[in-house]
Amino acid sequence: MSEQPQLLYKHRHVPGINTIDVWMAHGGYENFKKALAMEPDAVIEEVKVSGLRGRGGAGFPTHIKWNAVPKNRDVEHYLIINADEGEPGTAKDRDLMNGLPHLLVEGCLISMHAIRASKCYIYIRGEYIEPWKSVQKAINEAYEKGFCGKNVLGSGLDFDIYTHLGAGAYECGEESALMSSLMGERGMPRMKPPAAPLPMISGAWKRPSVVNNVETVSTLLPIIELGGAKYAEIGYGSPRSRGTKLFSISGHVEKPGVYEIVLGTPFSEVLELCGGVRKGHTLKTYIPGGSSMGFAPPTPLDYPFDYEGIPANTKTLGLGSGGLIVFDETTPIVPITQRLVDFYHHESCGKCTPCREGLNWLHKIYGRIVAGAGKESDIDLIWDICDSIRGKSFCALGEGAIWPVMTSLLLFRDEYLAYIRGGKDAMTDLTTIGL
Amino acid sequence: MSKFTEKDKARLDELISRYPTKKAALLPSLWVAQEVYGGWLPLEAMDEVAQHLELPTADVQGVATFYTMYNKEPRGQHAIEICHNVSCMVLGAEQLIQHCERKLGVSATGETTADGVFTLARVECLGACCNAPAVQVGGTYYENVTAEQMDALLEKLKSAPSEVVTPPQSAMPEMRKF
């Protein structure tokens, strides 16, 4: 098995690592001091050399975002941390915030220095009360030690970090919707470039804003510590997927959990790390990167697991946010897909017609099929509705909603047919799932 | 009738001071209001927030109704929220929900028991996929929950005070006014 260096999780199991004293005893805030001694552009250069790509889902190169921010301090710049983790299957940021809150706070400070921001808002989803308390406590400790506040460490720079609690809306994980929500509005997405200015030029409150994921800014610590070039040497697969990434592995595996894995590790090894499919069962399908990335077939398994590695012929989109859900042969695919359709239907913000109406229609059709009144023509109808949402919804939610549906149709059309033809008898009693 | 005390208003002022605009303090202010009004947001609560933030009431209502965690109806002392998304689903969430429904005699659509102690609801992904099935009560997560553990938890909660989500408190030294 390939070696899995633990960079983010280096101190994960040290008792009391969530307190600033233990964190500092293990080298905490040294990387921030190191970064603070560098010019902001030099920090961005390290990130560029490291090849860091955003760990929130889209995999956009971080240095491009950062470089687009104006290089002056005439107006206030904002760093906004996206901690609105709500994708079914994804639970990595929660683990980071609960266990290693200072990793996030220190990462925020380094990022704020790099993009010349003096204020940072950490937007945490409303359900995450425990992670929020953990992060707020870490921020308080950082203020007490003088890493936050006015004239930090005599640098003449101010760094203020605030937490901002969401209130239950998956849509707010989308960059522009998150900024709307931060500004006290309904969490609905806004026009994106090229039709609108880049958020890095005119974002929250029309000021330069960078939105980064929790894991992205946390990854800055190993980058500053090792140096960008050294960090870029880590990784087995594509030259465009470097470093380590957290994967939350759930479902039918022996040891579910959050794992730090080197990008490009063969997928079969990733499965091995978490103990493989539960004993006595075989792999039916899996969702590699959070539910919006769709189902993948059980073969091949030996491809490099990174941003580029997911084989195109699986029709699955990619790595996403790293939420790997594994399903064994006992899983009925129709109710599972119905669950995801209902989730996206529930969470659609209603701003654009394809998503609002399309998902409502899908929700009704799946309800009909699972109630035993499906028609064979429903399969084509589902496909057509998905096709009408694909590429036509305002933001990625609509797109994300149809991928599990379309991939389930591509892979398990027979199961749909059996379900529909069998009527009520073929339905799965949901209370038998999990036995 | 205003329910906001001077202390509550000071809390809102502190929240406002964190943002470039008053409006931005709306979400955290609604959390405060929900706490002051005993776990839900009647129209008066939204009105009070609107007044303090100098916003049209319609704006505040529009935002409050968009987010699922601002309760528009009163809830029981303890809200049992069981995650039923795929990771929890394949590890027995549905059985757990039905178990609770039978035990409490209410439907998991947000119904409250007659004695007002428990509200039972199924919720979308809680982000605890690795430790499924997951349950949230107040601000506390319970993970890898079995039917037996659920029974023990319900028993324990019966006599426990309800847990209220308190909005973020700033750490900036000069802002610790209350």
Show residues of chain A in contact with B170, CB under 8 Å: 162
Task: Report the first-to-last Cα separation within chain A, whole angstroms.
Answer: 32
Query: With contact defined as beta carbons under 8 Å apart, do A406 and A399 qualify?
Result: no
Show residues of chain A in contact with B128, CB under 8 Å: 91, 94
Show residues of chain A in contact with B92, CB under 8 Å: 433-435
**Subunit contact B62:A186, Cβ cutoff 8 A:** yes
Q: What CATH number has the domain bearing residue B19?
A: 1.10.10.1590
Q: What is the DSSP letter of B135?
A: E
Whether B174 contacts chain A with CB within 8 A: no
What domains lie within chain A, and their CATH numbers? 20-233 (3.40.50.11540), 244-328 (3.10.20.600), 333-422 (1.20.1440.230)
User: What is the band of B121 on the pLDDT scale with cuts at 50, 70, 90?
Assistant: very high
Q: What is the DSSP letter of B165?
A: P
Nearest of B1, B52, B56 to residue B29 by alpha carbon: B52
Whether A323 contacts chain B with CB within 8 A: yes
Minimum distance, in Å, between the CA of residue B36 and any CA atom of chain A: 16
Nearest of A22, A14, A67 to residue A44 by alpha carbon: A67
Separation in Å, CA A118 to CA A150, A159, A161, A183, A425: 9, 5, 8, 17, 62
Helix (H) or strand (E) holding B112: strand B109-112
| Same-domain pairing of B83 and B152 | yes
Q: What CATH number has the domain bearing residue B112?
A: 3.40.30.10
User: What is the band of B169 on the pLDDT scale with cuts at 50, 70, 90?
Assistant: low
Instruction: Please provide the size of chain A in residues.
Output: 435
Whether B124 contacts chain A with CB within 8 A: yes
| Same-domain pairing of B82 and B36 | no
Which pLDDT score is estimated for B25?
95
Tokens representing A424 are: 């009520």
| Same-domain pairing of B94 and B115 | yes
Residues 393-412 of A with CB under 8 A from B: none
Helix (H) or strand (E) holding B141: strand B140-142
Separation in Å, CA B36 to CA A325, A383, A430, B29, B48: 40, 48, 40, 10, 11
- Residue B82: domain span: 78-159
| Same-domain pairing of B110 and B57 | no
Minimum distance, in Å, between the CA of residue B62 and any CA atom of chain A: 7
* List of residues 6+ apart from A363 with CB closer than 8 A: A341, A342, A345
Domain count, chain B: 2
Pairwise CA distance, residues B168 & A36, whole Å: 28
| Same-domain pairing of B57 and B89 | no
Residue type, A22: V
| Same-domain pairing of B13 and B43 | yes
**Subunit contact B85:A149, Cβ cutoff 8 A:** no
Tell whether B177 is covered by a domain: no
| Same-domain pairing of B45 and B95 | no
| Same-domain pairing of B82 and B155 | yes
Show residues of chain A in contact with B132, CB under 8 Å: 250-251, 256
Show residues of chain B in contact with A433, CB under 8 Å: 89-90, 92, 94
Q: Give me the residue from A127, A207, A331 closest to B136, CB to CB.
A: A127
Which pLDDT score is estimated for A112?
97
Query: With contact defined as beta carbons under 8 Å apart, do A143 and B172 qualify?
Result: yes
Q: Based on the number of CB atoms within 10 Å of its own CB, is A74 exposed (0-12), middle (13-18) or buried (19 or more)?
A: exposed
Q: Residue B164: pLDDT above 80?
A: no
Q: Give me the residue from B21, B130, B172 closest to A149, CB to CB.
A: B172
| Same-domain pairing of B88 and B154 | yes
Tell whether B73 is covered by a domain: no
**Subunit contact B69:A127, Cβ cutoff 8 A:** yes
Query: With contact defined as beta carbons under 8 Å apart, do A343 and A332 qualify?
Result: no
Show residues of chain A in contact with B172, CB under 8 Å: 143, 149, 160
* List of residues 6+ apart from A186 with CB closer than 8 A: A180, A349, B62, B63, B66
Whether A28 contacts chain B with CB within 8 A: no
Which pLDDT score is estimated for B168?
58
Whether A208 contacts chain B with CB within 8 A: no
Tell whether B109 is covered by a domain: yes
Pairwise CA distance, residues A141 & A147, whole Å: 9
Tell whether B167 is covered by a domain: no
Mutation site for B-interface testing, chosen from A150, A250, A435 by largest number of B Cβ within 10 Å: A250
Which pLDDT score is estimated for A196?
87
Ranges in chain A, pLDDT < 50: none
Burial A294-310 (b: 16+ CB within 10 A, else e): bbbbbeebebbbbbbbb
Cα pseudo-dihedral A106, A110, A113, A114, rounded to 10: -160
Nearest of A32, A59, A178, A176 to residue A114 by alpha carbon: A32
Tell whether B105 is covered by a domain: yes
Q: Give me the residue from B23, B31, B93 closest to A183, CB to CB.
A: B23
Q: Residue B174: pLDDT above 70?
A: no
Instruction: Tell me chain A's radius of gyration from C-alpha atoms.
Output: 22
**Subunit contact A91:B129, Cβ cutoff 8 A:** yes
- The angle subtended at Cα A361 by Cα A356 and Cα A362, nearest 5°, is 100
| Same-domain pairing of B126 and B60 | no
Q: Which residues of B fall in the annotated binding site for [2Fe-2S] cluster?
A: 83, 88, 125, 129
* pTM score, whole prediction: 0.94
Whether B141 contacts chain A with CB within 8 A: yes
Domain boundary among B17, B35, B66: B66
* List of residues 6+ apart from B114 with CB closer than 8 A: B105
| Same-domain pairing of B56 and B86 | no
Tell whether B170 is covered by a domain: no
Tell whether B11 is covered by a domain: yes
Separation in Å, CA B28 to CA A165, A178, A181, B127, B152: 7, 14, 11, 21, 33
Name the least confident of A190-199, B49-58, B148-157: A190-199
Kind of pairing between the strands at A78-83 and A283-287: unpaired
* List of residues 6+ apart from A326 with CB closer than 8 A: A249, A250, A251, A252, A253, A271, A277, A283, A286
Which pLDDT score is estimated for B175?
43
Helix (H) or strand (E) holding B121: strand B118-123
Tell whether B166 is covered by a domain: no
Q: Residue B123: pLDDT above 80?
A: yes
Q: Give me the residue from B63, B92, B136 closest to A185, CB to CB.
A: B63
Minimum distance, in Å, between the CA of residue A42 and any CA atom of chain B: 29
Partnered with residue B137 across adjacent β-strands are B80, B140
Domain boundary among B66, B99, B116: B66
Separation in Å, CA A286 to CA A59, A249, A344, A414: 20, 10, 19, 18
Query: With contact defined as beta carbons under 8 Å apart, do A263 and A242 qualify?
Result: yes
Separation in Å, CA A198 to CA A195, A206, B154: 9, 10, 50
* List of residues 6+ apart from A168 with CB closer than 8 A: A125, A126, A127, B67, B68, B69, B70
Which pLDDT score is estimated for A347?
94
Alpha carbons within 13 angstroms on the beta-carbon side of residue A173 total 27
Separation in Å, CA B162 to CA A131, B50, B79: 20, 27, 9
Domain boundary among B66, B90, B111: B66
Q: Residue B178: pLDDT above 50?
A: no
| Same-domain pairing of B88 and B155 | yes
